[in-house]
Amino acid sequence: MKYRYLLIDNDNTLMDFHAAEHAALREALTEAGIEPTDAVCARYSAINDALWKALERGETTHAALKITRFAQLLAEYPAENVCAPRLALRYSHYLGTHADLMPGAEAFLRRLHGQMKIVLVSNGDSVIQRNRLFRCVFTPLLDNIVISSEKGVSKPDPRLIEIALAECGCTDKTEAVMVGDSATADIPAAVNAGIDSIFVDWKNTGCQQATYTAKNLAEVEQILLKS
């Protein structure tokens, strides 16, 4: 096996963030007295996606993003006695209680555990990610966890990859590979850090920058084992 160090994204690569987000948003909105209609949830998703793209471009911070997305939502769907910071806090609480997995994630990590160092490299809020990982069945299989908000830098900035490599003791970049589902964060981060990458193409969108492309985690495993 060529690779000794597996750097892997969390949200929508190992853990199903879309499912967790959907559930947490509805719980937080309901608690605040806002009906979580499909239209409201879709608008939140659009606002949130735009802000995450801005974060990847270095135009905002995690702290600002957490409040701004709800401030923008409340500007369009106002509610009495509800403020963005409070709604953001309750959403974060509920999000941290959901540890849904992507198909095959636990089995994938169990089969690779012990064969290579497995390092989770995540763009995300520290408290939310730590709470979700605390509830997650695969967390004991990880050798290290690197979260962007704890390091002050986010993918696609290659510095987050460099931090992960240093912390796991990797001195030869040819022995490391980054696995992720984001063509705008995970793969560019790997390319800019000078390591190979595997794009998990759940939606069949393609990514020309990636060293390899896989449709699911089972295919990722085959690529790793055959390398």
For 39-77, write each residue's pLDDT tens digit: 999 999 999 999 989 988 889 988 899 999 999 999 999
Q: Are 104 and 216 in contact (CB under 8 A)?
A: yes
Q: What is the pLDDT of residue 159?
A: 98
With a cut of 90, say whether residue 227 has pLDDT above it: no
Q: Which residue has the tokens 């992960």?
A: 164
Average pLDDT of the residues in 112-130: 95
CATH 1.10.150.240 location in the chain: 17-95
Task: State what percent of residues in the chain have pLDDT above 90.
Answer: 93
Q: What is the mean pLDDT of the chain?
A: 96
pLDDT score recorded for residue 62: 83
Positive or negative, the Cα torsion across 70, 72, 78, 80? positive
CATH topology for the 17-95 domain: DNA polymerase; domain 1 (1.10.150)
pLDDT at position 55: 86
Delimit the CATH 3.40.50.1000 region(s) of the chain: 5-16+101-226
89, containing H or E segment: helix 84-95
- What pLDDT score does 1 carry? 84
Catalytic residues: 9, 11
pLDDT value, residue 52: 87
What is the structure's pLDDT at 18? 93
Q: What fold, for 5-16+101-226?
A: Rossmann fold (3.40.50)
Q: If you average pLDDT over residues 81-88, what whole number do you get?
A: 95
- Quick check: 56 and 184 in contact, CB under 8 A? yes
Indicate the pairing of strand 5-8 with strand 117-122.
Answer: parallel
Q: Do residues 25 and 36 lie in contact, with contact meaning Cβ atoms separated by under 8 Å? A: yes
Residue whose token pair is 């992507």: 102
Per-residue pLDDT band for 88 (boundaries 50, 70, 90) equals very high
Q: Is the backbone peptide bond immediately before 36 cis, with ω within 30 degrees of 0?
A: no
pLDDT bin (cut points 50, 70, 90) of residue 161 is: very high
pLDDT at 93 over 90: yes
Helices (H), 98-182: 105-112, 126-134, 148-151, 158-168
- CA atoms of 140 and 193, how far apart (whole Å): 27
Q: What is the pLDDT of residue 212?
A: 98
